[in-house]
A and B are shown apart, each in its own frame.
Chain A
Amino acid sequence: MEAAVLTDRFPRTQVLPSQDMPTYQVAGEDLLETVRFLRDAQGFDLLADLCGIDWKDRTPRFGVVIHLLSTTHKEYVRLHVGAVNDTVPSVSSLHPGANWHEREAFDMFGIRFDGHPDPRRILMWDAYPYHPLRKEFPLAGIEVPLPAADVAEVTGQTVEPAPMMGGPFVSPGGKLSEGEPSALDQSWNEEKPKA
């Protein structure tokens, strides 16, 4: 598919640089029509992937990436949509397979999908207060109560942070080597690079 096919029809669409497959920046308002056009007129009939991105410094902060595959032309295309107000239109009405992918993106990043038939978390439990794949969330986790209050009462257990330091993969004492996982040193994150 030529890039002009898409950019002529949807003027707000831009071509993004990419090393593997044609990639377009699509406006949120155009997303549904774009996916429908690609599915019905261009043969991109399979939704291969849908995931979220935390851009951290950009506005809008979050984006959604959609990979579409044409099973007849053996072609991929990638769409990126910025999540204005953390919201993106749901494509699960066009590709039912997007349903759980969108729930996962909501669970991990807090991106809301407008028009989703079942906008719940999918991996973490419903009452979990964070979105774990956001850049500011530490891999070790943040302490919260267990999902079930009665089990928490009997066992005295909470959802505990589990830093690599002090865990079974780190020998106590000594200097961290460069080769060790970056998650090892919990002071390290996107804002404060590894010392």
Chain B
Amino acid sequence: MVKSDFGYNSKVEGEVIVTRADAVVNWVRSNSVWPMPMGLACCAIELMGAGGSRFDISRFGMEVMRFSPRQADCMIVAGTVTYKMAEVVRRIYDQMAEPKWVVAMGACASTGGMYRSYATLQGVDNIVPVDIYISGCPPRPEALLDGMMLLQEKIRQEGGSLKRTFRGRTVETKIVR
């Protein structure tokens, strides 16, 4: 939350903090992003590393990896998406409740990476809207944390809390064909 988002004067207001609903909702959302680990290849190992004690993703309120899409806010697509798996990725994305975000972790999820062949989807943004792309093959956990902090920043800057994020997102990050 940036400073102008709330006002607090103990002499006038006692124990009351004044803020905007959008700001506080975004602040809460950005600090409790529950990821859905869509681990498909070696990037998932780095994702596990980010969850461990050395890198400790829980510092950002993201340690609650949810293996059910219905309880998750953010799908981290970590790994190579084949055409056979693309259907599953899209279905899991559809099952997640709004608001939801997608992080494409690594070269394969972002562009297909080195798998330029008949079997591999050339970037997960062909089937779901992507908020953050993280480079690397695989990215180190620090890079994942950096990307997730960028995502937090993005969530905090989102307008009206009732905005339909999917429609908003398709306009912002148009699915690149």
Contacts and interface: CB of A to CB of B under 8 A. Distances in A.
Interface of A: 123-125, 132, 137-142, 146-148, 151, 154-157, 159-164, 167-169
Contact of B118 (A140, A146, A164, A169): A140
Interface stretch (B14-22, B26-34, B53-61, B79-87): B79-87
A137 B119 CA distance: 12
Given A151-B90, A168-B111, A159 B117 contact: no
Contact of A162 (B86, B87, B117, B175): B117
Nearest to A148: B87
19 contacts: A123-B84, A125-B84, A137-B118, A138-B118, A141-B119, A146-B83, A148-B87, A148-B91, A151-B87, A151-B127, A154-B90, A156-B177, A157-B86, A157-B127, A160-B122, A162-B117, A162-B120, A163-B116, A168-B112
Contact of A169 (B116, B126, B127): B116
B117 A140 contact: yes
A139 B118 contact: yes
Given A132-B119, A141-B119, A147 B175 contact: no
Contacts of B113: 168
A146 B86 contact: yes
B114 interface: yes
Contacts of A141: 117-119
Given A123-B84, A137-B118, A157-B121, 7 more contacts: A124-B119, A141-B118, A146-B86, A162-B112, A162-B120, A164-B116, A168-B113
B87 A157 contact: no
Interface of B: 83-84, 86-87, 90-91, 111-114, 116-122, 126-127, 175, 177
Give chain B's interface secondary structure class: loop
A107 to B, nearest CB: 11
A155 B126 contact: yes
B40 to A, nearest CB: 15
Contacts of A146: 83, 86-87
A195 to B, nearest CB: 21
A124 B84 CA distance: 7
A140 B116 CA distance: 7
Contacts of A138: 118
Nearest to B83: A159
Contacts of A154: 90
Contacts of B90: 148, 151, 154-155
B127 A155 contact: yes
Contacts of B111: 168
Nearest to A142: B118
A137 B112 CA distance: 20
B41 to A, nearest CB: 15
B116 A167 contact: yes
A184 to B, nearest CB: 10
Contacts of B126: 155, 157
Contacts of B112: 162, 168
A147 B84 contact: yes
Contacts of B122: 160, 162
